[in-house]
Chain A
Amino acid sequence: MAKLRIVHYINQFFAQIGGEEMADYKPELREGCIGPGLAFNQAFGEDAEIVATVICGDSYFNENLDEAKATVLEMIKSQNPDLFIAGPAFNAGRYGVACGTITAAVKSELGIPCLTAMYEENPGADMFKNQVYIVPTKNSAVGMRDAVKKMVPLALKLAHGEEIGASCVEHYMPNGIRKNFFEKKRGSARAVDMLLAKMAGKPFTTEFPMPDFDRVTPNPAVKDMAHATIALVTSGGIVPKGNPDHIESSSASKYGEYDLEGVMDLTADTYETAHGGYDPVYANQDADRVLPVDVMRDLEREGVIGKLHRYFYTTVGNGTAVKNAKRYASEFAQELLKANVNAVILTST
């Protein structure tokens, strides 16, 4: 049997074109495999081969979603593939969204078997796991080998039109579709096993996980903006020049609280970004582009708002664990409450 033809989608980083400074790279089609494609080709052996790779910069894709999607889709279609693979994106948020968007479009518009892979906290996972097969990976490229090992058998099954079993057997993220099967032990025995494990403080796996609808009801609007105290918060990593608390450029282990007393404008000499997940040139030139202190001061002076809160809170939202981001914000939210802050503007890059 002839080898299956695969088209692979990767970002500018994995294509070895460049890092954040090249994140605006426009879609490009190249023959053969590049970067992580080598590992796939090796694992597929005689069964399948990457015939072409589509590369696109992460920022370009996300900032020009419709146009990028259409262009990339056309490139994929031109290769007439039997199978499409995107990523793995690990914990790169924009890359994950791009992989999910393209894989979903390949499935719905081209009807070609396809899959992608990323870390479960990648925003692309929640957005697309019910639409396409997403293989869960580690949060960094250290997990490449493991990802390839799980993706290849699933990809071949999909390409051959074989029936796909339950997510726990085939290694994809649960997509809300139930698969019936017979357990070896009856329900009562399994329930007692689980209870004993729970009582002994040992790990156990529930057979009926509660759906995770983490939504918060919107708070009432600010009634009197002219007397309101507004605080600025950012995940864009804006810090005083020199990053005094050494907030990490990725997977931040802390957040910063900084005093804006007397600060009218953020300048290249006084503020910078600690964020390692986007091109820092623009924020380092003028951090108001991420944390709009200059405009807030104008609005304060003109009486549009009561005042800008004295402190701003900042962290780096690049590969930062959801659990940590949650903890940082619940801590500084208490400070904001104590200070009688009426509303928050939170900026993200």
Chain B
Amino acid sequence: MVKEIERVGIPVVHVCTVTPISMTVGANRIVPAIAIPHPLGDPALSHEEEKALRRRIVETALKALSTEVTDQTIFEVK
């Protein structure tokens, strides 16, 4: 799906936990997520902490979309 979106000319970032799969599939901008059943969350945290964590991941995704890349690139969440 990532490739089909990229193919029509829209930049796309893939947020996923198992980044080697994303690399194999051919995503160009990749952001590692937390866990398979909750990629953008962590039920062990309080609601506020969890939302802050989600925001950091989404901000990293936006940073990836704002960054020029020539090759497949993984953007680590800070």
Contact = CB atoms under 8 A, between A and B. Distances in A.
A1 B73 CA distance: 52
Contacts of A295: 40, 51, 54-55, 58
B67 A347 contact: no
A43 interface: no
Contact of B24 (A126, A222, A286, A299): A126
A346 B54 contact: no
B interface bracket (residues with beta carbon within 8 Å of A) = 35 or more
A295 B8 CA distance: 27
Nearest to A341: B10
A216 B54 contact: no
Contacts of A337: 8-10
A123 interface: yes
Interface in A276-306: 278-283, 285-286, 288-292, 294-296, 298-299, 304-305
A86 interface: no
Nearest to A214: B26
Interface in B17-62: 17-18, 20-22, 24-26, 28-29, 33, 35-41, 43, 50-51, 54-55, 57-59, 61-62
Given A218-B69, A221-B11, A286 B41 contact: yes
Q: Which of B5, B14, B20, B41 has the most CB of A within 10 A?
A: B5
Interface in A76-122: 93-94, 97
Interface of B: 1-18, 20-22, 24-26, 28-29, 33, 35-41, 43, 50-51, 54-55, 57-59, 61-62, 65-71
Given A329-B1, A347-B16, 13 more contacts: A127-B24, A219-B9, A221-B11, A221-B69, A230-B62, A281-B37, A283-B37, A289-B43, A290-B41, A292-B57, A337-B8, A342-B11, A347-B40
Across the A-B interface, give the 10 residue pairs with the lowest CB-CB distance, nearest first: A289-B41, A329-B4, A329-B1, A218-B28, A348-B16, A282-B38, A219-B11, A289-B38, A344-B12, A333-B8
